[in-house]
Structure 1
Amino acid sequence: MIMLLVLSVAFLVLALLAVPVAVALGLSALLVIAIWGMPGFILAQKMVNGIDSFPLLAVPFFILAAAVMNSGGITTRVVDLFSSMLGRIRGSSGVVNVGTNVFLAGISGSSVADASASGALLIPEMRKDGYSGGFAAALTAGAAVIGPIIPPSIPLVIYGVIAQVSITKLFVGAYIPGILIALALIAYVTSYARRHQLPARGRPSWGVIGRQFKGSAWALSMPLLLVVGAKGGLFTVTELGAVLVLYAIFIGWVIHREFSWRQLPELLTDAGLQTANIMLVVAVSSFIAYLVVVHGIPADIQSLLHNADLSPWEFLLLVNVVFLVAGMFLDSTPATIILVPIFLPAAKSFGVDPTHFGLVIVLNLMVGLIHPPLGLNLLITQSIAKVPMREVIWASLPVVAIILAVLLIITFVPQTVLWLPGVMGL
């Protein structure tokens, strides 16, 4: 436990000095090595072992697929379709915002990427509809949380690798929680629009909607690849990522004719840089997870929890608190890699299904993206909306409350996660 305290203090000090997460974790690990006299080669060995995983190859594919989709004009077509279909609803751009984030969630697996893409497209449109800049930014930040829930999901891939749980089962189990968040946000935004008497734009003719649907049909069919691949066992998660990239290139180049091969080197470079950043954090965090296990901290925590005579529900409530706090200061990747080995053995001893546990953890950590001090989604959408941060934070409070309510539902009603994988025989 002393090692964990030294590690935590060192990391917090470096984080407060604005040292990048991967560097702060690495320096903290080196400090532990120096104090406890461990061989230095162990750090390099465990870092390499941490990223030597076939399922992690899915990460660059998901990132590249999202980039190709955006460069091929696919996202814009889907937004136009949603806007036309929902034009008769008051303040329809808010509902379109949520729907677009659900669509983007089926491509990128990254909340930050979805906040950037949907924010640039829809925050200006929401302001034209009469929404305040703070509300538009807060809703976009909250809706982007759906990104890592509805598959493909980079955080779920990382959890699956660490916990040795079927990633396909995690992906299928995530659909209902993701849809619950979307429906709750849609109910909130429509209520807000009625309360503030926001105007309706009007819906174009069915002929126009039909042409827009025809142009978007290929893109809208992408989530079917996930469902068919999972049920039919056609692809592993990594192979699915590669198929998504090829499918996105096909749509953008052959169907829409907006994707150019000249764009590919830049897209590959950006995807490579994003992947390198994620993998560096994974590598360093893997060493810290090794330290945690070697020092027997999971066993100590498990013993402590059982001595406290907690019920499974009390344990899950405690886990929620721990991961909500962790999400306030840590990105989801290091938090997952470091904390899951500590709490997963205890979760199993309490009879908690690892798939259910994974969704609870990931959603907890995503909440940290929409409230201070981390609040990365809020920072992105606030910069797009160009309004004071205090306005965005104030407007985000109901959004955070909605997502926390959904979190409590999936925490204490495990079938919201486990029912669909059971139906599909996973």
Structure 2
Amino acid sequence: MIMLGVLSVTFLVLALLAVPIAIALGVSALIIIAIWGMPGFILAQKMVNGIDSFPLLAVPFFILAASVMNSGGITTRVVDLFSSALGRIRGSSGIVNVGTNVFLAGISGSSVADASASGALIIPEMRKEGYSGGFAAALTAGAAVIGPIIPPSIPLVIYGVIAQVSITKLFVGAYVPGLLIASALIAYVILYAKKHDLPARGRKPWGVIGKQFKGSAWALSMPLLLIVGAKGGLFTVTELGAVLVLYAIFVGWVIHREFKWSQFPGMLTDAGLQTANIMLVVAVSSFIAYLVVVHGIPRDIQNLLHGADLSPWEFLLIVNVVFLVAGMFLDSTPATIILVPIFLPAATSFGIDPTHFGLVIVLNLMVGLIHPPLGLNLLITQSIAKVPMREVLWASLPIVGIVLCVLLVITFVPQTVLWLPHVMGMK
């Protein structure tokens, strides 16, 4: 426990000094090595072992697929289709915002990427329709939380690797929670539009909608690749990433004729840099997780929780609080790698399904993206909307409340996560 205290204090001090997460974790690890006199080669060994995982190869593919999709005109076509079809609904651009983020969630697996892509396209349209800049930014940030829930999902891949559970089952189990968040946000948008008497732009003629649907059909079918592949056993999660990249290139280059090969080297470079950043965090966090296990902290936590005679529901409440707080200060990757080895053994001893536990953890950590002090989604959308942060924060309160309500539902109703995998015959 002393080791954990030293580690936590060192990391928090460095984080408050705006030191990058990977470096802050690395320096904290080196201090622990120096204090406890551990051989230095263990750090390098555990860092290499932490990223020596075949499923993690899916991460760069998901990132690259999102880049190809945006450059190939896929995102723009989907937004245009949603806007035309929903134009008769009051304040329809808010619903288009949520719908677009649901679509993007089926491609990128990254909340921050979805907030950037959807925000640039839809926030200006929402403002033209009469939404305040703060509300448009807050809604976009909240809707982008769906990105790492509906598969493919980078956080779920990392959890699956750490917990050694089926990533495909995690992906399938995530659909219902993701759609619950989307449905709740759409209901909130409809009430908001009605309360503020926002106008309806009018639906485009059926001929126009049909033409747009025909142009978007290839794009809309992309998320189906996961369901078909998972059910038919056609490819693994890693192979899914490669298939998404090839499919996005095919649609953007052959179908839409907007993808340019001259841009591809830049996309590869960006995907490589983003992947390197994620993998560095994974590598250093893996060493921290090793220290946690070696010092018996998971066993101590498990004994402490059982000694307190908690019920499984009380344990899940504690987990929610811990991971909500962690999400306020940590990115989802280090939080997952460090904390899952601590709490997963206890969750298993309480009879909690690892798939259910994983979705609860990931959604907890995503909440940190839409409230301070981390709030990366809010920072991105606020910069796009060009409004004071206080307006975005005030508008985000109901949205944070909606996501927390869905979190409570999936926490205490496990079948919201486990039903679909069971229907698809996954054990």
> TM above 0.5, one fold?
yes
**Residue-by-residue CA offset, 1:308-339 (whole Å, 9 max, x unaligned):** 00000000000000000000000000000000
Supply the distance in 1 between the matched residues of 2:280 and 2:90 (Cα, whole angstroms): 45
**Residue-by-residue CA offset, 1:285-327 (whole Å, 9 max, x unaligned):** 0000000000000000000000000000000000000000000
Aligned counterpart, 2:361: 361
- The structural deviation recorded for 1:213 is 0.2
Tell me, what secondary structure is at the counterpart of 1:148?
A: coil
Aligned counterpart, 2:198: 198
**Residue-by-residue CA offset, 1:169-207 (whole Å, 9 max, x unaligned):** 000000000000000000000100001000000011100
Supply the distance in 1 between the matched residues of 2:47 and 2:35 (Cα, whole angstroms): 19
> How do 1:202-241 and structure 2 match up within 5 A?
202-241=202-241
Aligned counterpart, 1:14: 14
Give the counterpart letter for 1:242 in structure 2: A
Give the counterpart letter for 2:384 in structure 1: I
Aligned counterpart, 1:313: 313
Supply the distance in 2 between the matched residues of 1:87 and 1:391 (Cα, whole angstroms): 27
Aligned counterpart, 2:128: 128
Aligned counterpart, 1:272: 272
Supply the distance in 1 between the matched residues of 2:165 and 2:305 (Cα, whole angstroms): 23
Tell me, what secondary structure is at the counterpart of 1:222?
A: coil
1:390 aligns with 2:356: no
Supply the distance in 2 between the matched residues of 1:232 and 1:328 (Cα, whole angstroms): 39
Identity %: 90
Supply the distance in 1 between the matched residues of 2:106 and 2:159 (Cα, whole angstroms): 18
> How do 1:8-407 and structure 2 match up within 5 A?
8-407=8-407
Supply the distance in 2 between the matched residues of 1:132 and 1:173 (Cα, whole angstroms): 35
- The structural deviation recorded for 1:12 is 0.2
Moved beyond 6 Å, runs of 4+: none
Give the counterpart letter for 1:385 in structure 2: A
- List runs of 5+ in structure 2 lacking aligned partners: none
**Residue-by-residue CA offset, 1:360-402 (whole Å, 9 max, x unaligned):** 0000000000000000000000000000000000000000000
Tell me the matched-pair count. 426
Q: What is the aligned-residue RMSD (CA, Å)?
A: 0.3
Supply the distance in 2 between the matched residues of 1:42 and 1:371 (Cα, whole angstroms): 36
Supply the distance in 1 between the matched residues of 2:233 and 2:297 (Cα, whole angstroms): 37
- The structural deviation recorded for 1:223 is 1.0
Supply the distance in 2 between the matched residues of 1:16 and 1:420 (Cα, whole angstroms): 42
The normalised TM-score by structure 1 is 1.00
**Residue-by-residue CA offset, 1:18-72 (whole Å, 9 max, x unaligned):** 0000000000000000000000000000000000000000000000000000000
- List runs of 5+ in structure 1 lacking aligned partners: none
Give the counterpart letter for 1:271 in structure 2: A
